[in-house]
Structure 1
Amino acid sequence: MKLNRPAILKLAEMICGNLGFDSFPYRSSSQLTKFFIDLDLDYVHDGGTRHIWVQDVLNQLNDKESTDNNFPNRDLIRVIESLINPDYFLFDDKVDHAKAVQAVKATIKSSKLTLKELSDGQYLVALLNGEFISTAINQTDAIKHITFTPTVFTIPQKQVNRNLVSIMMPFNAAFHGTYDAIKKTCEYMELECLRADDIWQNTTFIQDIFELIYTSNIIVVDFSTRNPNVMYETGIAHTLGKTVIPIAQSINDVPSDLTHHRALIYLPNHEGYRKLSNDLWARLCTILGREKKVNKP
């Protein structure tokens, strides 16, 4: 299936963030190139008119063969899903993620497609009748659930606390400022915030950590200093399907396998902690679907 010409034209304007589509972030020539390169699509802006160039790219993707007659080519689906990735709408009061999502929905509706929101705030292209598709796997894989029995941990007899944010970070006095900045933001948003050393409910420390991750809605992980315990805990969080917010004092501390996740970078000083609080506030607002008020923590 191919998208119609009006849909391609509108999507190109949205990707550019042109006039009339200012709920989307504006993208310069280099930013357009990065947008596609980040999707492993080898398109480099040639210096021509931005929206004309994007139209040409989208037409090329639209002409590619699709493995499913109900959907366009997977690369084009990935572009659409990336277009409304919440991370692109952070730290810019001029854009509006909710309006952008509605605009994309209206554009692809004529092709009997829509967008379905996931628990982590991301969106998937789906059929209007409710069937959905993931960009990397087929529909069967997307809806498949797995059951496993861990040998190291005991499954907690507890429910997930939707207001609980847990922090995985090095247990080091140098990170007190980081912890305080995160906790301040959570308290401002009326969220519960816990670190593993805040609790002592089991005879083994690792069981306390597992229970904390298991019952949390969102996990903040600090990759600073590449602490192996934090890496291990991040793996647990990802395996359990938790929403993970990576932070670090240097982008070089973020593992190469996880660089596709946008990390909040901060400096360990007063201004750095303040920026971390504000950036985390914006990220949590996006994940939780809350309005971004003028007053920040």
Structure 2
Amino acid sequence: MPPSSDYTAFRAILRQSEHIVAIAGAGLSAASGIPTFRGSGGLWRSHDAASLATPRAFTENPSRVWQFYHMRREKARKVEPNAAHTALAVLAVPEHLRTIAPDAKFTLITQNVDGLSRAALSRTPGADERTAPIFEMHGRLFQTICTSCGDSRMNTNSPICPALAGTEAIVERHETEPDIPLDELPLCTRCSGLLRPGVVWFGETPHYLREIQEIVEKADLGLIVGTSSTVYPAAGYAADIREHGGKTAVFNLQDSEGDQDADFLFLGPCEETLPRALFAYGEQANP
């Protein structure tokens, strides 16, 4: 049986749910202006952007990788959470969650590193991460990790170091990227070691896997938002939910592999479909 696109039927399932988990991917932030760096448009200065998100790329050319992440940091600084981020943040308001799913707990698992989900949560009155936690399984764009001493901390400076200032505009002028010396790249304030972006690169283990698996095993409703379900382990969570009898609802711009296995499929911009599904035609209740 193909998945349903009936919003009323979805809300009936939503109301009966007790453990709701949202699994979010790059499509959640697309309407905010965050590029996915995958598929068409996934090039950066003639480089496959995905190939820069690896430990090997950083070892071989930390200057190039830091310029790539500086550009991403600057872009993320200029955008705002969209209606889909806000819709999920509203589920973190206990009083409001009770009005649509009286007995439910809610958890957000995001593959995004842009911090927009956390920003939406901080702007939503009554939202409480203690009762509706966010698991940023691929790390944070504005976090740094020292490659020498391991010190990890948030850093929202713009730029993060003087040598990176303005490098985000070089590609627009079609100029060759500068080769920034190691001692001018972001350095640890504790030991002067080279810092790396606090994100999970390809080939590295995502964060919170044990905690996430425990949550997924309890989930009776999974909201799969803006992800093509191709990057594991997150891609397997929807199947895990279905295997133990839970329902899944996919919110994607277009159909992707595995979506036909879902119970519900809502195609279109998730900033439109998700609020409509959760709050009836996009009319959000005020938390």
Task: Work out whether the TM-score is over 0.5.
Answer: no
CA radius of gyration, larger in: 1
With the shorter chain as reference, the TM-score category is 0.3 to 0.5
- Kindly indicate whether structure 1 or structure 2 has the higher relative contact order, using CA contacts under 8 Å at least 6 residues apart: 2
TM-score (norm 2): 0.34
- Structure with more of its chain in strand, by fraction: 2
TM-score (norm 1): 0.33
- Structure with more of its chain in helix, by fraction: 1
